[in-house]
A and B are shown apart, each in its own frame.
Chain A
């Protein structure tokens, strides 16, 4: 097991380094500079600004210092646009918001999706099966940026039940719509995936044997069928995580929740390079970690994978 984890780490760490270096180079080769305003500053002022942000040093030294600060001190440096704020401040402000609705969306998509998938598979060709299947196919073609306006239209403009935006310190009424908008399409995919893999497992020989020896069907499903049926679902959790991280941009923008996605887009439009870089690296690191966890979880559930 330890060897397996080490081997996965051997991929994850270079990936992270590639990500840092690639985004850093991208930032350096981009045309224009973040301090170019409407009026041109005198060269001496420019030099002072560059010196303050360490931009006067050779490029390779900047890169190495940046990597050192990020990896060992978890410090993304000062923001290029807001003089009194660091990138860490900006992240610390937005991250808890994103984490709150993201975690809810992830848990709901997984738990509800798996439950619905199991019910649909066990009661194959019943109304519950058709209902969930129809809903899943529908939800798959409605991405979160379409889901969000539809939800606001129904629950805010027509029914007037829930606020159509804002965060309000994480009040439950502000959290519901973002969570639904973010989780629906993943919930649908997970339900479909669970259904098809559960059906495949239920038609296998050992399940027939278990039924033949008179085992109650509840035990057959939960003790024998569930574990192998969940394997494809587990491997799908990585993409779900990535999708939710990406989707947070839409959620933040549409519901004005003030999460990390909003910070990303704002800094992107302001050419606040150090903040963009910091957020990209942070989310990249989270994604890579999530993939690593999914891999380990998969190996733990599937006895066929040699550790």
Chain B
């Protein structure tokens, strides 16, 4: 960080100054750790992630194996129990819901993180370039974003998935096509304020190339905003994937996601197998809740307005 090293530099130069300067990031970490909702969410989320990774080692049934003993009488014999080894019960065809929920969590989390990562990579570069150069390039680039933004992307995504077959890759292509738009707008706005600051002027004055200025001076200063937005984007991506899976167009069997499990659970709940909806829904809501609170906490911690 530029601001960081500058503050430290002055601190060293003036040996009389008793306290060491605090950087933006130490400040942010301190503020974040004082935010109880965000800290609790962070701990819960880490626990859930750890559970989704470690949990499979304790499963007594694999994801695909069908328990023939309960098949056909799932409502009576398939309820959650320690004895049968089906900790979360079984699904409507007799597969172990514990293993499937864990798998669904892994897939949903992965979709959220990858979708958000695409947004960070594409959106940051796109927004920084548009914001830095400004003028006609900026208006062309942002008009393009406006146009894509006002198309109901869900329908395009459904079209893509149906016409080119349902696959993981197509899902990521579809999510990647739209997830970066908001990020590009946010980054562009931030870049336009940063590019008028002295350190950018200094970089221009010593004759640095625009690409170096964007990547060495502007992008590092955007990280706060990008981090907040990326965190808030993860639950949105999870929601998006769940929506697609709910329609039956997302992740394909035998693989699954929380959205697909919720959809299956919802379609069978009138037969008295409420656990098929309950367990996936519980983890789904916990994951979304914690991400939203962490995002909010990060925003409070990094937002320059509060200082």
User: Taking beta carbons and an 8 Å cutoff, which residues of A are in contact with B?
Assistant: 11-12, 14-15, 18-19, 22-23, 26-27, 30-31, 137, 140-143, 145-146, 148-149, 152-153, 157, 242, 245-246, 249-250, 253-254, 264-265, 268-269, 271, 276, 279-280, 283-284, 287-288, 291
Max chain A Cβ within 10 angstroms of own Cβ: one of B143, B165, B270:
B270
Please pick, from B147, B165, B247, B284, the residue contacting A14 in the complex, using a CB distance under 8 A.
Answer: B147
**Do most interface residues of chain B lie in helix, strand or loop, or is the interface mixed?**
helix
Given contacts A141-B285, A288-B150, contact A265 B156 (CB under 8 A): no
The reply to whether A146 and B284 form a contact with Cβ atoms under 8 Å apart is: yes
Q: A279: which B residues are within 8 A, CB to CB?
A: 155
Q: Which 5 A-B pairs have the closest CB atoms?
A: A30-B163, A149-B266, A141-B288, A246-B154, A145-B246
Please pick, from B151, B243, B289, the residue contacting A287 in the complex, using a CB distance under 8 A.
Answer: B151
For B266-303 the 0/1 string (1 means CB < 8 A from A) is: 10011000100100010011001100100000000000
> A13: shortest Cβ distance to chain B, in Å?
11
Given contacts A146-B262, A148-B266, contact A287 B150 (CB under 8 A): yes
Report how far A12 CA is from B151 CA in the complex, Å: 10
Max chain B Cβ within 10 angstroms of own Cβ: one of A11, A146, A287:
A146
Instruction: List 5 contacting pairs A-B, 8 Å CB cutoff, sorted by A.
Output: A18-B147, A146-B281, A146-B285, A276-B162, A280-B159
Q: At the interface, yes or no: B235 with Cβ under 8 Å from chain A?
A: yes
Given A246-B154, A264-B155, 17 new contacts (CB under 8 A):
A15-B146, A15-B147, A18-B151, A26-B160, A30-B164, A141-B235, A141-B288, A141-B289, A145-B262, A146-B285, A149-B269, A157-B270, A246-B155, A250-B243, A250-B246, A280-B152, A284-B152
Q: At the interface, yes or no: B99 with Cβ under 8 Å from chain A?
A: no
Report how far A149 CA is from B151 CA in the complex, Å: 28
The reply to whether B159 and A268 form a contact with Cβ atoms under 8 Å apart is: yes
Using a CB-CB cutoff of 8 Å, which residues 224-282 of chain B contact chain A?
Answer: 235, 239, 242-243, 246-247, 259, 262-263, 265-266, 269-270, 274, 277, 281
Given contacts A23-B159, A264-B158, A279-B155, contact A143 B239 (CB under 8 A): yes
Which residue of A is nearest B143, CB measured?
A11
Given contacts A264-B158, A268-B159, contact A283 B152 (CB under 8 A): yes
Which residue of B is nearest A153, CB measured?
B269
Which residue of A is nearest B284, CB measured?
A146
Report how far A198 CA is from B162 CA in the complex, Å: 44
Report how far A23 CA is from B151 CA in the complex, Å: 11
Given contacts A269-B162, A276-B159, contact A149 B277 (CB under 8 A): yes
Which residue of A is nearest B288, CB measured?
A141
Q: A242: which B residues are within 8 A, CB to CB?
A: 152
Report how far A158 CA is from B235 CA in the complex, Å: 31
Q: A27: which B residues are within 8 A, CB to CB?
A: 159, 163
Report how far A31 CA is from B152 CA in the complex, Å: 23
Report how far A139 CA is from B242 CA in the complex, Å: 16
Given contacts A276-B159, A287-B151, contact A265 B262 (CB under 8 A): no
The reply to whether B242 and A145 form a contact with Cβ atoms under 8 Å apart is: yes
> A105: shortest Cβ distance to chain B, in Å?
17
Report how far A287 CA is from B153 CA in the complex, Å: 11
Which residue of B is nearest A265, CB measured?
B247
> B244: shortest Cβ distance to chain A, in Å?
10
Q: A142: which B residues are within 8 A, CB to CB?
A: 285
Report how far A242 CA is from B239 CA in the complex, Å: 15
The reply to whether A143 and B289 form a contact with Cβ atoms under 8 Å apart is: no
Which residue of A is nearest B286, CB measured?
A141
Which residue of B is nearest A283, CB measured?
B152
The reply to whether B147 and A11 form a contact with Cβ atoms under 8 Å apart is: yes
Report how far A40 CA is from B277 CA in the complex, Å: 43
Q: B143: which A residues are within 8 A, CB to CB?
A: 11
Q: A145: which B residues are within 8 A, CB to CB?
A: 242-243, 246, 259, 262-263, 266
Q: A30: which B residues are within 8 A, CB to CB?
A: 163-164
> B171: shortest Cβ distance to chain A, in Å?
15
> A292: shortest Cβ distance to chain B, in Å?
9
Which residue of A is nearest B165, CB measured?
A31
Report how far A19 CA is from B281 CA in the complex, Å: 35
Report how far A11 CA is from B274 CA in the complex, Å: 49
The reply to whether A268 and B164 form a contact with Cβ atoms under 8 Å apart is: no
Max chain A Cβ within 10 angstroms of own Cβ: one of B242, B246, B263, B281:
B246
For B185-213 the 0/1 string (1 means CB < 8 A from A) is: 00000000000000000000000000000
The reply to whether B146 and A11 form a contact with Cβ atoms under 8 Å apart is: yes
Max chain A Cβ within 10 angstroms of own Cβ: one of B146, B266, B288:
B266
Q: A143: which B residues are within 8 A, CB to CB?
A: 239, 242-243
Report how far A140 CA is from B288 CA in the complex, Å: 9
Q: A18: which B residues are within 8 A, CB to CB?
A: 147, 151
The reply to whether A280 and B156 form a contact with Cβ atoms under 8 Å apart is: yes
> B153: shortest Cβ distance to chain A, in Å?
9
Report how far A250 CA is from B143 CA in the complex, Å: 31
Which residue of B is nearest A286, CB measured?
B152
